[in-house]
Structure formats: structure tokens, C-alpha cells
Homo-oligomer: A and B are copies of this chain.
Amino acid sequence: MPFIAKYMVYLSDTDAAGIVHFANYLRFVERAEEDFYRSMGLPKIYEFMPRIEAFIRYESPIRRGDSISVELSLEEARTRAVRYGFNIFNDSTGIRAAYGHVAAACVEMSEGTMRAIKCPREVIEAWTKVGGPT
């Protein structure tokens, strides 16, 4: 059962084409990821997960005043990284706006530099609860 977060879309999310700016879709996805970790009681984990990869396919526009649902599901939990899939649904139109995935690494800060580590057990467990795509 995927994790679902709902957000409103504001003027500052859009650009002069009249729709949400394409880079801001990734901000919505990241917000959902932060809300996911928070919902799992892991608000501090997120800081240590730099992005490895992002892929997004745009299907339909989102406009100011629309409400959206961002749905996250586990794609792959590796030793040192997690890859999750996402769907962004435009609840105001009933149409999927985008889908894709994000891969993020588990790291540790030590003396100002990041070092790859095994993902903490809590991270893996949290994603396992969410499970794969429906």
C-alpha cells in the first residue's frame, strides 16, 4: 500500500507557461518523501540521503489551485541506497500528472564529508511497510 501525501498548488509553484514548473514536480516528490519519513517516526533520517538519480515522465499539466496526491512506493532497497517510485495525481482533474522514480543513498557525515554506509534498518523497514507499486 503506497504512501500518499496531498498538497495544494500555489502561484509560486508555476511558471509563465501557466502551469507548474517542471523542476517543481521533484519538490513535490521530495516533500512526500519527507512526510513519509516523518510519518514513520524518522524525521532525521532524511538529511543523510543525497539523491543518486531522478527520472520523471510528464503526462498532464498541474495548475495553481489544483490539489495533488503524491504516491510513493518502494522499487528497490539495496544495501546502500533506496529507489522508490512515484505517481503524481492531479486530484482537480482526476488525471495522473507524472510518474517516475528517485534513488537516494544512505550516507554518514563525518568531518564535513559524506561517506556511503549501509542503510539503517529503520529506513529499510519503513519502505518495506509501504511495499511495491500497486
Interface residue ranges, A against B (CB under 8 Å): 8, 10-12, 14-19, 21-24, 26-27, 30-31, 34-35, 38, 43, 46-47, 50-58, 61, 63-65
Known: A58-B50, A58-B51. Contact between A12 and B30, CB under 8 A? Answer: yes
**Chain B residues in 8 Å Cβ range of A51:** 22, 58
Cβ contact within 8 Å between B55 and A54: yes
| Other A-B pairs, 15, CB within 8 Å; known A12-B23, A53-B55 | A8-B35, A12-B31, A15-B16, A16-B16, A16-B17, A16-B18, A16-B64, A17-B50, A19-B50, A22-B30, A23-B23, A23-B26, A26-B26, A50-B61, A53-B56
Nearest-CB residue, chain B, relative to A37: B65
A67 to B65, CA, bound (A): 22
Q: Please report the C-alpha to C-alpha distance between residue A77 and residue B46 in the assembled complex, in whole angstroms.
A: 39
Q: Is the CB of A27 within 8 A of B16?
A: no
- In angstroms, how far is the closest chain B Cβ from the Cβ of A30? 6
Q: Is the pair A27, B38 in contact by a Cβ cutoff of 8 Å?
A: no
Q: Which of B11, B35, B55, B56 is A15 in contact with, Cβ under 8 Å? A: B11
A43 to B66, CA, bound (A): 11
